[in-house]
Amino acid sequence: MVRAIALSLALLIGLGTIIPLATDMAEAGPKKSKRYKKKQKRYKKYSKRWWRQYRANLRRKRALQARRRAMRLRQIRLARTRKTNSPDAQPKTVKAAPAVTEDKSTAMLPSGEAAPTGWKKGQTSGSELQFSVDGGNGTAAISVVGPAMGDSIDGGRNRTVGGVPTSSLRREVINRMVRENGWVVNDYQKDIGGKSVYVVVAQSQGNGGRVNSRMFYFTEVNGRIYSVATNSQTDAAERIAEESEKVIYSLQGRSRPVQAAVRE
């Protein structure tokens, strides 16, 4: 009888101890829940469904990048707004640009003489001296084509200016007219100031469908070949040609005779 009572008490005490421990351990353990991740279907590479899936992934990536860029742009604008509205920001003083005064001095030729009346200074680069002529309705330019290679030859097929073939000079004018929507009309050699000058006559399309007169003079002076090119209206072409010959005389270091040279 005593043994039965002792065993019963021992069994009750053991169960009372084991059950709370098991319950605590069960509650303290990690709670694992199954997460069902959507698996992306795998298709045969380069099949229609594979390309459809590939393009969809690209669209998602581009949309994500666009959202990031938009967010970054909003952050930058917000930072600029805060900086502008901050009390420490002071307005910047803008210095006024100096007034550009027009140079009304007399236009000079490379020889040091004054340019013909009506020739005004234009843009000047390292290799070309430009003028505005005919009251701004035309232009003129004086430039050095290159060094002379020999003597000038007037007659025969092998005509040259300072040893440079006139065919090469004509080709340069043709190429320029092609770029400027123009065409060559005639070419000839002329004696100006006792020296042979090669002249190319051309025309080009002007404003409003008007045809402009283009004249190109090539002459050799002191071992260099100079070019005098003019662009003017047809009604002023003869006067601009006379003024161009005056420039040729000036480059040669000679004074123009009172009587104009006879034109061909």
Residue tagged 């680069």 (tokens): 125
As a whole number, mean pLDDT of residues 244-256 equals 80
In a domain, 4, yes or no: no
In a domain, 114, yes or no: no
Tell which of 79, 105, 139 closes a domain: 79
Residues 236 and 184 in one domain: yes
> What is the per-residue pLDDT for 260?
41
Residues 189 and 240 in one domain: yes
> Helix or strand or coil: residue 127?
coil
Residues 75 and 124 in one domain: no
The per-residue pLDDT of the chain, averaged, comes to: 80
pLDDT tens-digit series, residues 155-190: 777 888 888 898 999 999 999 999 988 999 999 998
Domain tally for the chain? 2
How far separated are the first and last CA of the chain, in Å rounded?
158
Residues 70 and 139 in one domain: no
In a domain, 87, yes or no: no
Q: pLDDT class for 201, splitting at 50, 70, 90?
A: very high
| Radius of gyration of the chain from its Cα atoms, rounded to whole angstroms | 46
In a domain, 137, yes or no: yes
Residues 245 and 186 in one domain: yes
Alpha helices in 188-236 (DSSP H): none
Q: Which domain holds residue 54?
A: 44-79
Q: Which amino acid is at 85?
A: N
Residues 67 and 137 in one domain: no
Residues 227 and 141 in one domain: yes
pLDDT tens-digit series, residues 26-54: 555 555 555 656 667 788 888 889 999 99
Tell which of 28, 57, 79 closes a domain: 79
Dist CA 82 CA 78 (whole Å): 6
Residues 71 and 124 in one domain: no
Give the percent of the chain with pLDDT over 70.
79
Residues 62 and 149 in one domain: no
In a domain, 71, yes or no: yes
At residue 21, does pLDDT exceed 70? Answer: no
Residues 59 and 179 in one domain: no
In a domain, 126, yes or no: yes
In a domain, 263, yes or no: no
Q: Are 238 and 106 in contact (CB under 8 A)?
A: no
In a domain, 25, yes or no: no
Q: Are 139 and 227 in contact (CB under 8 A)?
A: no
Burial classification of residue 11, based on how many CB atoms lie within 10 Å of its CB (0-12 exposed, 13-18 middle, 19 or more buried): exposed
As a whole number, mean pLDDT of residues 83-88 equals 73
Give the percent of the chain with pLDDT over 90.
20
Residues 151 and 232 in one domain: yes
Residues 128 and 59 in one domain: no
